[in-house]
Amino acid sequence: MVRIPVGEVTYTSPYIPAEWIEAHGLRARRMLPRLAANDGLDHLSGLCPYARAFLGECNRSAGPFIFVTACDQMRRLAEFAERPAFVFNMPSTCETTASLRLYVGELRRLSEFLIDLGGHSPSRDRLIEIMLDHDRIRRALREARGAMASPPYARALAGYFENGQAFVVPPSGGLKPVGVPLALIGSPVMASHLDLFDTVEKAGGAIVLDATASGERSLPGNLDRRDLTGHSDPLFALAGLYFEIPSAFRRPNAGLFRYLGAELKQRGVRGIVFRTCLWCDTWRAEAERIRHWPGLPMVELDVADEPAPGGSALTRLQSFLEMLQ
Amino acid sequence: MNEPPRQLTLAQWDERHARLAAAGLREPAYGGRLGRHFEDGDRRLSRLKFDNSPAALRLWNFLLSEEERLFAARDAGKKIVGTMKDLGTVPVMAWSLPEVVAFYPDGAWWIPCVMELDDRLLAVADSLGVNESFCPVRAMLGAFATKTKFPTPDLLISSVGATCDDFSAIAQRVEGLGHPILWWEIPHRREPELDEEAVDLPGNADLLIGSGEKSPLRRVAFPRLRAPRSQVEFVHGELERIRAALEDLAGRKLTDAMLADGIAIANENRRALAELRRVVFTAPLAPLPSLELLIAEMLIIHFCSDRAECLEVLKELLAEARRRVENREGHFSLDAARVFWVNPVADLRVMNLLEACGGRVCGTDYLFSHALDEIPEALPPMESLARSALADPMAGPARDRAGRILAEMALFGAEAIVVSRIPGASHCATEGEVIAREARRRGWPVIEIEVPPVSDALSPQIAGRLEALVETVKARRSR
């Protein structure tokens, strides 16, 4: 393979540990893509707008991208990438050690790709250092969650994904979430749609749980430092954390419902905003189940190829919140 | 009993059946008039045209009696296994146990077409929140919810991973209805890295074509399909979990010897089908129409719930096709446009439509080309099955699939491609583009059409596109 000097590797899936990329001396950029006009992809009819936005970003950029098989369309889009692309085979099954081993094997294969790109083989000490660093930031993000309004919190999360840094606003009374507590569940939110959180506030609500693939749900759990002692390979500890991230595509996806059950209750959620991208089968199939399962009122929002949340979203949210208030 | 090949309406077939019966036609227990299936609710049959051979009659009766066969198996104390999505591998394992009958609940996707939506399976799926934005396989969810179309399986097994999201999502909803599923992972097939051991997968054979008389012998090279050893071993491990589940169900061991026997029988079926495809697709006149070939191919994935009878049905079709070729008989005209068809149609009537537009099918990829290839018999059976599963065209990149399609086009002398989009299916947004890109690079004309379960309203548009393709093919010949 031709070595391409590169400093940055881009992806959007939560199942790619930033720590692993950084331990290779490269910058990890977990992108929330933007849908661009004239992306030259109109011929791919039936394509999910989020996947389309990611491919568009890939083909407009210079660096390498990672496509993750958690979504069938993302898996297939790697064939349309005009940049170096790595297809990361993310297991859907999640209850066997074989699946976890497959995941670890893919991380090792990714390592070879990163080294081919100009990265270096990660040292144990450096990996641990980076893991601890990320764990510290994620703990801070989690602690800040209840003390921040949802729009800046969503942007803080996006900032962490984008560059590994979190500019968390210190807790203060004025920034606490106000409005009817809502959960946002469904497809990931594109960068150009982050205004959705402001729209919800404008309508009288507050997203107290962002359970999309671009929200808190996609953060791995807290690191147990005991897993890093002795001679054990820290990669196993890292893989164990990320492998446990619940999602609708896991089979079975009971872990998602356990997560939602606990978080909806703990945060006093009174309503659900269920937001799915057009053609996102994985989430759309769960809509009806989520509507009935926790017994909470739910409003559905569809995302097509619009560059930003439309006015109809605001209207629907306002009606929904009027009903809840 | 033999008449020159022609296509019959349902009513014409019933008249012919009466004449055949009077002349002493011997039929299996499931035989009889085709019209009785219409009377039982399979209304689409009245809109189809059928081949007039007794072999085709047997084929249709075999297909349309599967539901009764499954309920009879349950009554006889057999264990029913619902195998989902892998299309061809797990049934070979299940059928290796004499106590077990395996079928694909996925097959419910044709029920709305065959019953012209009277089954209400799609309406039930709608009511469960799985609407027309999903592939028509959502009918399966309706079938599980209504518990009317097949016996509730004793064991459900579904592949997941490198599969279409529609199916995976719908299967998850099936589990949510209270039907536990044994999920097994089929990883995204990839090329081995330089430092990895590569394993050849089935479907690699280079084939010699041409009779040597009128057409010279030439070799058609199939793209080499390979996977890393680690992926084969992983799938092997997943299939071992399935073996254990089947053993629990059957209450006995599923030994390698039993599996080897099962593979041998599956291969016998696959060889018969491969020869049938070769004879039909390469003949100057189509000895059988495309609709019957589509059904014949579909039998192979789980033997239509009777492995021994499936072979007999295929053999009789093959004999009929050979007889017609020898007699220089066939359907349609010698100048029919020779089309390679990609993806199964949700509405069977569209296969008739192609022929009405001046085309005929000379090559197919109905999503399961791995189930057409023989499973290696020289290897330990579980490894052979793992290799076969990994050869699934839907598990790998679309360019692999395109490579095989182009090789088969050369093998069968096809002149154009129809990519039949499946409404809502996650793979259809991109695969047609990859296949078309590869085909156009070699100068083949390609069109994409989308076929819903009942396509009557779209028939003029679909026909218009098919006619344009046929005209293009014929214009290219005269250049």
Task: Point out the residue among A69, A279, A280 whose CB comes nearest to the CB of B162.
Answer: A69
Please state, in angstroms and rounded to a whole number, the distance separating the CA atoms of residues A109 and A68.
13
Q: What is the dihedral of CA A39, A45, A47, A50, to 10 degrees?
A: 30
State the Cα torsion B301-B307-B313-B316 to the nearest 10°: 110
What is the per-residue pLDDT for A176? 65
pLDDT at position B269 over 70: yes
Q: Does A5 score more than 50 pLDDT?
A: no
For residue B208, give the DSSP letter: E
How far is the alpha carbon of B297 from chain A, nearest alpha carbon, in Å?
26
Q: In this complex, do B238 and A98 lie within 8 Å of one another by their Cβ atoms?
A: yes
Residue B394: partners with Cβ closer than 8 Å, 6 or more residues away: B162, B163, B164, B367, B401, B427
Predicted pLDDT at B374? 95
Q: Taking CB atoms and an 8 Å cutoff, what residues of chain B touch A285?
A: 129-130, 134, 169-170, 172-173
Note the pTM of the prediction, 2 decimals.
0.95
Please report which helix (H) or strand (E) contains residue B302, including its range.
helix B290-302
If one counts every other C-beta atom within 10 angstroms of the C-beta of residue B288, the result is 27
- Window 172-211 of B: residues touching A by CB (8 A cutoff) are 172-173, 175-176, 181, 183-185, 187-188, 190, 193
Report yes or no: A279 at the B interface, CB cutoff 8 Å: yes
Check CB contact of A250 with chain B, cutoff 8 Å: no
Instruction: Locate the chain A residue with the closest alpha carbon to B169.
Output: A282
Task: Pick the closest to residue A179 from A161, A160, A200 (CA basis).
Answer: A200
Q: Phi first, then psi: give them for residue A175, nearest 5 degrees.
A: -100, -5
How remote is the C-alpha of B406 from its chain's centroid?
19
Dihedral of alpha carbons B359, B360, B364, B366, sign: positive
pLDDT of residue B162: 97
Cβ contact A46–B421 (<8 Å): yes
Side chain identity at residue A65, one-letter code:
F
Question: In this complex, do A96 and B230 lie within 8 Å of one another by their Cβ atoms?
Answer: no
Is A276's Cβ below 8 Å from some Cβ in B?
Answer: no
CB contact under 8 A, A249 and B168: yes
Residue A6, pLDDT score: 60
DSSP bridge partners of B79: B100
Residue A4 has pLDDT above 50, yes or no: no
User: Residue B81 is encoded by which pair of tokens?
Assistant: 């296994």
**Residue A309: its pLDDT value, please?**
72
- Strands B79-84 vs B100-103: parallel, antiparallel or unpaired: parallel
| A286 interaction partners in chain B (CB closer than 8 Å) | 169, 172-173
Residue in B133, B160, B238 nearest the CB of A251: B160
How many Å apart are CA A310 and CA A298, to the nearest integer? 19
Query: Among all chains, which residue has been given the structure tokens 């077409």?
Result: B113
Query: Which range, of A103-107, A229-233, A250-254, B232-236, averages the lowest pLDDT?
Result: A229-233
- B192 vs B196: CA distance, rounded Å: 6
CB-CB neighbors (< 8 A) of A79 in chain B: 397-399, 430, 434
Residue A1, pLDDT above cutoff 70: no
Nearest CB to B172 within list A48, A102, A253: A253
Closest-CA distance, A45 to chain B, in angstroms, reads 5
> β-strand B218-220 against B207-209: which pairing, if any?
antiparallel
- Percent of chain A at pLDDT above 70? 94
**In chain B, what residues touch A112 (CB-CB under 8 Å)?**
193
Do A289 and B190 make contact, defined as CB atoms within 8 angstroms?
Answer: no
Residue B209 pairs in a beta bridge with B218
Name the pLDDT band for A147 (thresholds 50, 70, 90). Answer: confident
Q: What is the pLDDT of residues B8-37, one digit of tens each?
A: 999 999 999 999 999 999 999 999 999 999
Residue count of chain B, please give it: 479
Q: Is B364 helix (H, G, I), strand (E, B) or coil?
A: strand
Residue B396: what residue type?
G
Assigned token pair, A299: 């409003």
Please enumerate in sequence order all residues whose Cβ is within 8 A of that of B40, keeping only pairs 6 or more positions apart, or say none: none
Nearest to B13 by CA among B75, B69, B57: B57
Scored b (16 or more CB within 10 A) or e, B183-201 reads: bbbbbbbbeeeeebeebeb
- Quote the CA–CA distance of B211 and B218 in Å, as a whole number: 9
Whether B317 and B331 have beta carbons less than 8 Å apart is answered as: no
DSSP codes joined into one string, B173-190: HHHHTT--EEEEEEPPP-
Q: Is B147 an interface residue toward A (CB < 8 Å)?
A: no
In a mutagenesis test of the B interface, which of A52, A55, A75, A290 is the best target, namely the one with the most B β-carbons within 10 Å? Answer: A75
Chain B: closest CA distance from residue A277 (Å): 11
Q: How far apart are CA B313 and CA B300, in angstroms?
A: 11
B9, B207, B327, B395 from B52: Cα distances, Å? 9, 32, 16, 38
Tell how far CA A190 is from the center of its chain: 10
Q: What contacts A230, CB < 8 A, 6 or more positions away? A: none
Q: Is the pLDDT of residue A263 over 90?
A: yes
Provide the 3-class DSSP secondary structure of residue A85. strand
Per-residue pLDDT band at A146 (split at 50, 70, 90): confident
For B87-110, give the secondary structure using H, E and C.
Answer: CCCHHHHHCCCCCEEEECHHHHHH
Cα→Cα distances B186→A190, B88, B129, Å: 29, 13, 27
**Interchain CB contact of B426 with A (< 8 Å):** yes
Q: Which two tokens stand for residue A37?
A: 């006009």
Of B184, B190, B431, the CB nearest to A76: B431
Q: What angle do CA A200, A267, A219 make, to 5 degrees?
A: 85
Say how many residues make up chain A.
325
Q: Is the pLDDT of residue B217 over 70?
A: no
| Mean pLDDT of chain B, nearest integer | 95
| Strands laid side by side in the B337-342 sheet | B359-365, B337-342, B416-421, B446-450
- Give the containing element (helix H, strand E) for B241: helix B229-250
* Terminal CA-CA length for chain A: 60
Q: Mean pLDDT lowest for which of A17-21, B170-174, B231-235, B421-425?
A: B421-425
- Which of B173, B431, B433 is facing A285, going by the closest CB pair? B173
CB proximity list for B462: less than 8 A, separation 6 or greater? B350, B353, B449, B451, B455
Joined together, the tokens standing for residue B120 give 């209400």
If you average pLDDT over residues B360-388, what whole number do you get? 97
Contact of A287 with chain B, judged by CB distance below 8 Å, is answered with yes
Q: Look at residue B235 and tell me whether its pLDDT is greater than 50.
A: yes
Reported ipTM: the value is: 0.94
Whole-angstrom CA distances from B83 to B60, B246, B413 are 23, 11, 35
Instruction: Kindly report the nearest CA distance between residue A47 and chain B, in angstroms.
Output: 5
The model's confidence at residue A3, banded by pLDDT at 50, 70 and 90, is very low
Q: Name the A residues in 51-70 with CB < 8 Å from any B CB.
A: 69
Instruction: Report the residue of chain A nearest B129, measured CA to CA.
Output: A288
Residues of chain B in contact with residue A279, where contact means CB-CB under 8 angstroms, are 133, 424, 426, 429
A257 has a chain B CB within 8 A of its CB: no
Residues of A in contact with B175 (CB under 8 A): 252
Partner residue facing A98 (CB), from B133, B193, B237: B237
Is A284 within 8 Å of chain B by CB? yes
Distance CA B300, CA B310 (A): 8
- Which candidate in A76, A111, A187, A300 is best for mutational testing of the B interface (most B CBs within 10 A)? A76
Of A109, A282, A287, the CB nearest to B129: A287
Residue B53, SS3 per DSSP: coil
Mutate to test the interface with A, among B137, B144, B170, B172 (most CBs of A within 10 A): B172
Chain A window 7-36: which residues touch B at a Cβ cutoff of 8 Å? none
Say if CB B83 and CB B302 are below 8 A apart: yes
